[in-house]
Structures are given as structure tokens and as C-alpha cells.
């Protein structure tokens, strides 16, 4: 199995362009199933999750190709309504195809996505919302068989938790449903607004994304269109942490600072100098990072749960003790044991991690536990003295486009073996 090998201690300095957002491109690719015509999606990151999504699109009957980061796909001939178990297992977030498949064919059959590295990840909010829209859901032998006998109908839906995936699935089911749909308590993440921008460009009528209440007027059909995926705010935070923990200086181009307010706050709290100029973010690390008394993950626009592992790795080298509270997922600290191999002093209790900053990390051999946990391990390895080897890097490659190439370009001593 491949490994990432990092000899830590180099200051990371330079310029980097932020990749397209994984959590935007996945729902947008699912949405193309609904479009009668060619869709051209620019700024798609080169990720295994994008590759898996293209396999799903082909399986559903879409003609699709990836031309060096621009995906061209046409949902006109999409007729299948099942996702093979192998592909569901490859990418848990395939569940976002549910609404689009039902919208296109009236049916969807997927294997229950089950839990993942972050703990149990139920989809009860997805299913109960779709049922309100006229879908019957039968679960048998680990498969979910969804049928909209009389087609999808608009409905008034209240989410008791602003689930990102559930909000996306409701929107995808509602855009060509009969009648209007209102979502109360919708998730407000920028990736949802990006999905809505794409769909509206294709002829949908969606209002209110980014607020608690989203309104969708069902239309007869959607046409093909062109779209550019927004920058990935979590990847941007990751590279900022790589520079900050190594005492470096980084300019991020093609970022979206307004999507990163809570993350930029954290870097400033650690003593980094952060300057914004349009779509560029410049960060300069202090000689020693300051601790941050408490960081809590919250739904957007609060501090993103996906940046929790990034923050924890960063604060492991701060001067003093910080506390991170994970409020979104039940079991998102599996990477902490790996960070401790570098000499990090972190204690976790339930949803709380107490991070006692150390002034030195030392190299270690470890394994990525999940996507963002893997990124946290890379951050620690860049600061650790000596050569570290990181295994299970497929987790990292799900969300980071050419992470070794980008880090090497910033001066890191890194290679993939």
C-alpha cells in the first residue's frame, strides 16, 4: 500500500491555488442526472471521490468524461436507478444521488450507507423528508428500495437538525417535483448554495439557500448548463495549518474568504498574521503559536467540524493548553491516537479534546484514520523532527488533490512511496 513519507522541519513558504470543493462537486455531479443536456463543470478536483461519482453517473446511463478537471456529462439518457454496492462502499456520500435518481426515474435502490470512520451516520432525515414528498422506502437485506409511485410532490419539511446531505437530497428531489417545497431548518453551508446556483442555472427555481428556509418551485425539466465549483474551504484551512505549524508563510489564491470567517478567526487567535485581498489569503506564522482556550465545531457559519482535526493538529504545538469541542459527529477523534505518536499531548473525553501544546513533535509511523484525520497527521508530520511514514493514504486522496505535489512545491520534504 502507498505511503506518504515526510521529513519534517522545513518552513513551508510560497503560493498555492485552492482546489475545487469536494463537498460541492459531489452533489453537483449528482444533480447533472436531472439535466436534459450537456453540463460542463469546471474546477473539479482530481479526487478518488470524483472518480467514484463519475463511475456512478456512467452506471446510471449518463455520458460523462473528465477533461483535466472539467467534467462534461449529460443526464438525458439516465435510466438506471441503482448504485452498485461496490460503489456505495467506495464512497459513503453516494447517498446524495438518492434525490436525483428518484427525480429522474421515480425510483432508487441503494445499499444502506451505514456508519463510517466518524461514527454512525444515519440518513433518517433524508428518508423521512423524501417520504413526505411521496416516496415509499422499504429496507430489506441491507438495501433501501425507494419508489415515488405517483411521482415526487412538493412538501413543507422541517429538519430537526440542519443536515447538509439531507438538505441537498431534498433540494434534488424537489427541483422537478410537482408543486412547491419549503425546507425549514435547512443547512446553510456554502456548498449547498453552490448546488443551488448550478441548479438555478439549469432552470430550477430555488430561493433562500444560505438561510434557514429554502423554497423550491418544482419545474418540468432542467437543461444542461455550465458551472464552476467553489473553492474548498477545508482544503484551504489545511494548507494554512501546514504553513502555520512550520513557521512558514503562504499565499492562497482562488480562495473564498467569506466562506472561511470562523477558520480565519482561529488562525488569528493562534497569533498568525492573516491578510485578505479579494480571493487571496496571506498567512504568516508567529515564532510560536498561541493556544486558543476553546474551539467548538458548529453548523455553518460556525467553526466547521471538518476543520476540527486540522485545528487539533495545529494547536498540538501551541504555547499552552487549548480545548476543542466536537458538536457534530459522535466519534471524530480517532486520529488523536495517531497524533500522540508524534508526542502530542492530547486527552479526549467524549466530545472534548484537551490539547496541551508541546514545543517539539518527533517523527512517527502512523496510519490515516479518515479523510480529515489523515490531513491532521500530515500537518503534524510536517512539524515533526525526523522522517514520518503515513499509511492508509487513500483516505487523504479522497479529498486532497495532489497533496504531496502541493506540499513539495511549498518546500516540504515529502514523497509518495
- Measure the CA–CA gap between 148 and 363, rounded to whole angstroms: 55
Contact in structure between 308 and 326 (CB atoms under 8 Å): yes
The reply to whether 172 sits near ligand EPZ by the rule CB under 6 A is: no
- Cα dihedral sign, 125-129-132-134: negative
Q: Which is nearer to ligand EPZ, 44 or 384 (CB)?
A: 44
The reply to whether 126 sits near ligand EPZ by the rule CB under 6 A is: yes
Given 165, 190, 224, 231, the residue binding ligand EPZ (CB under 6 A): 165
Q: 3-state SS of 59-97?
A: HHCCEEEEECCEEEEECCCCCCCECCHHHHHHCHHHHHH
Phi, psi dihedrals of residue 254, rounded to the nearest 5°? 55, 40
Choose, from 64, 116, 209, 366, the residue flagged as catalytic.
Answer: 116
- Binding part of the chain for ligand EPZ, among 5-13, 164-172, 245-253, 282-290 by CB under 6 A, reads 164-172
Binding mask 355-384 for ligand EPZ (x = CB under 6 A): ----------------xx------------
Half-sphere exposure of 263 (CA within 13 A, CB side): 31
**Helix pair angle (190-201, 164-174), 10° resolution:** 10
- Measure the CA–CA gap between 387 and 56, rounded to whole angstroms: 39
Q: How many separate helices (H) and strands (E) can be counted in the chain?
A: 14, 25
- Binding part of the chain for ligand EPZ, among 31-39, 116-124, 333-341, 385-393 by CB under 6 A, reads 116-124
Binding mask 177-196 for ligand EPZ (x = CB under 6 A): ----------x---------
Report in angstroms how near the CB of residue 240 gets to ligand EPZ at its nearest.
Answer: 16
DSSP state letters, 286-355: -SSPBP-SEEEB-STTSB-GGGHHHHHHHHTTSBSEEEEE--S-SS--TTHHHHHTTT-EEEEETTEEEE
Q: Which is nearer to ligand EPZ, 7 or 128 (CB)?
A: 128
The reply to whether 124 sits near ligand EPZ by the rule CB under 6 A is: yes
Binding mask 313-332 for ligand EPZ (x = CB under 6 A): ---------------xx---
Q: State the virtual CA torsion across 296, 297, 300, 303 in degrees, nearest 10.
A: 60
The reply to whether 26 sits near ligand EPZ by the rule CB under 6 A is: yes
Residues 388-407 that bind ligand EPZ (CB under 6 A): 399
- Binding part of the chain for ligand EPZ, among 72-80, 130-138, 162-170, 337-345 by CB under 6 A, reads 162-170
Maximum separation of any 2 CA atoms in the chain, in Å: 64
Report in angstroms how near the CB of residue 249 gets to ligand EPZ at its nearest.
Answer: 27
Phi, psi dihedrals of residue 40, rounded to the nearest 5°? -115, 115
Whole-angstrom CA distances from 347 to 10, 204, 325 are 28, 48, 12
Report in angstroms how near the CB of residue 121 gets to ligand EPZ at its nearest.
Answer: 5
- Binding part of the chain for ligand EPZ, among 9-17, 122-130, 317-325, 361-369 by CB under 6 A, reads 122-130
116 is catalytic: yes
Report in angstroms how near the CB of residue 309 gets to ligand EPZ at its nearest.
Answer: 9
Contacting residues toward ligand EPZ, per CB under 6 A? 22-23, 26, 93, 121-126, 161, 163-166, 187, 305-306, 328-329, 371-372, 399
Q: Enumerate the active-site residues.
A: 116
Amino acid at each position: 500500500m502507498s505511503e506518504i513519507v515526510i521529513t519534517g522541519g522545513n518552513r513551508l513558504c510560497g503560493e498555492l491555488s485552492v482546489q475545487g470543493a469536494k463537498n460541492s462537486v459531489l452533489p453537483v455531479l449528482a444533480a447533472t442526472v436531472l439535466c436534459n443536456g450537456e453540463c460542463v463543470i469546471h474546477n473539479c478536483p482530481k479526487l478518488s471521490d470524483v472518480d467514484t461519482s463519475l463511475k456512478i453517473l456512467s452506471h446510471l446511463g449518463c455520458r460523462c468524461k473528465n477533461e483535466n478537471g472539467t467534467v462534461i456529462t449529460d443526464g438525458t439518457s439516465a435510466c438506471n436507478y441503482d448504485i452498485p454496492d461496490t460503489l456505495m462502499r467506495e464512497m459513503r456520500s453516494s447517498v446524495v444521488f438518492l434525490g436525483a435518481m428518484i427525480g429522474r426515474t421515480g425510483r432508487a435502490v441503494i445499499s444502506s450507507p451505514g456508519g463510517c470512520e466518524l461514527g454512525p451516520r444515519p440518513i433518517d432525515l433524508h428518508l423521512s423528508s423524501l417520504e413526505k414528498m411521496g416516496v415509499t422506502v422499504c429496507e430489506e437485506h441491507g438495501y433501501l428500495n425507494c419508489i415515488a409511485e405517483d411521482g415526487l410532490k412538493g412538501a413543507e419539511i422541517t429538519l430537526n437538525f440542519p443536515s447538509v446531505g439531507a438538505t441537498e437530497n431534498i433540494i434534488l428531489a424537489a427541483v422537478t417535483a410537482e408543486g412547491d417545497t419549503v425546507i425549514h431548518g435547512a443547512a446553510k453551508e456554502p456548498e449547498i448554495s453552490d448546488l443551488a446556483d448550478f441548479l438555478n442555472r439549469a432552470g430550477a427555481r430555488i430561493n433562500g439557500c444560505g438561510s434557514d428556509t429554502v423554497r423550491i418551485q418544482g419545474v418540468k425539466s432542467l437543461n444542461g448548463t455550465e458551472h464552476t465549483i467553489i473553492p474548498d474551504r477545508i482544503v484551504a484551512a489545511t494548507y494554512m495549518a501546514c504553513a502555520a505549524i512550520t513557521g512558514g508563510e503562504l499565499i492562497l489564491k482562488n480562495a473564498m474568504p467569506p466562506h472561511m470567517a470562523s477558520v480565519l478567526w482561529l488562525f488569528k487567535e493562534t497569533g498568525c498574521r492573516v491578510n485578505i485581498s479579494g480571493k487571496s489569503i496571506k498567512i504568516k506564522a508567529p515564532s510560536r503559536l498561541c493556544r486558543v482556550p476553546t474551539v467548538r465545531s458548529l453548523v455553518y457559519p460556525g467553526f466547521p467540524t471538518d476543520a476540527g482535526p486540522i485545528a487539533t493538529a495545529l494547536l498540538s504545538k501551541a504555547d499552552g493548553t487549548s480545548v476543542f469541542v466536537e458538536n457534530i459527529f459522535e466519534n471524530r477523534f480517532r486520529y488523536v491516537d495517531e497524533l500522540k505518536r508524534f508526542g502530542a499531548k492530547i486527552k479526549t473525553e467524549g466530545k472534548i479534546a484537551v490539547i496541551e501544546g508541546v514545543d517539539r513533535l518527533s517523527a512517527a509511523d502512523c496510519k490515516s484514520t479518515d479523510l480529515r484525520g489523515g490531513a491532521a497527521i500530515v500537518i503534524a508530520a510536517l512539524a515533526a523532527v525526523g522522517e514520518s511514514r503515513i499509511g492508509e493514504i487513500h483516505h487523504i486522496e479522497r479529498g486532497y488533490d495532489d497533496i504531496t505535489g502541493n506540499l513539495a512545491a511549498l518546500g516540504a520534504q515529502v514523497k509518495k512511496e
